[in-house]
């Protein structure tokens, strides 16, 4: 074996465990999100996931935070939405971002009321099953959020430039603008 190949193999063997440990450490770091609900003025910052494990108590708090603010009804929010938000803030390099929430869970009663006043509200909205949220990101143009979400290739991404928010859901991959 020539010296260059031997040294390269030795270096790879010596650094691989270090890289693997640092990679594992970053995966084991808690995933933290911060929110400001624009209708209730509530704020919440918490770790929702540690490694591959969602934090049950955090998810319960998030379910309450994303409740239908008009009726007080609560449902389980799909944790994949939180993963999408976390990955968006990472992609945008905005680690201390605060997501501004316009809409989380909507009860069927609230959804029907909104449909009477707006053509933009879907009859079978994923908001009613805890699989959609409407957000802005502090100090970030909403088109940047939309672009990052589209690049992720997960669920639906609706861009509402006039109302200045992005709809994200865990349904089929699709995108639209209004």
Q: Encode pLDDT of 72-93 as tens digits.
A: 999 999 999 999 999 999 999 9
Digit-coded pLDDT (tens) for 148-168:
999 999 999 999 999 999 999
**What pLDDT score does 13 carry?**
52
Q: Say whether pLDDT at 173 is over 70.
A: yes
CATH of domain 30-177: 3.30.1380.10
User: Per-domain residue ranges for the chain?
Assistant: 30-177
Digit-coded pLDDT (tens) for 28-70:
889 999 999 999 999 999 999 999 999 999 999 999 999 999 9
Question: 3-7, 76-80, 132-136: lowest mean pLDDT where?
Answer: 3-7
Residue 163: CA count within 13 A, CB half-sphere: 15
**What pLDDT score does 27 carry?**
66
d(CA 178, CA 176): 7
- Cα dihedral across residues 55, 33, 130, 176: positive or negative: negative
């Amino acid at each position: 074996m020539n010296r260059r190949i031997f040294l390269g193999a030795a270096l790879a063997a010596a650094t691989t465990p270090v890289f693997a440990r640092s990679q594992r450490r970053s995966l084991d770091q808690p995933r933290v999100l911060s929110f400001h609900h624009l209708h209730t003025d509530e704020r919440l910052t918490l770790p929702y996931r540690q490694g591959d494990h969602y934090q049950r108590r955090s998810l319960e708090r998030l379910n309450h935070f994303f409740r239908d603010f008009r009726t007080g009804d609560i449902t389980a929010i799909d944790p994949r939405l939180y993963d999408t938000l976390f990955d968006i803030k990472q992609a945008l390099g905005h680690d201390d971002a605060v997501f501004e929430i316009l809409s989380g869970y909507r009860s069927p009663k609230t959804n029907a009321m909104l449909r009477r006043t707006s053509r933009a509200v879907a009859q079978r909205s994923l908001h009613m099953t805890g699989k959609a949220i409407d957000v802005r990101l502090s100090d970030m143009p909403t088109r940047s959020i939309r672009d990052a979400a589209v690049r992720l290739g997960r669920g639906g991404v609706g861009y509402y430039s006039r109302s200045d928010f992005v709809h994200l859901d865990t349904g089929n991959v699709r995108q639209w603008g209004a």
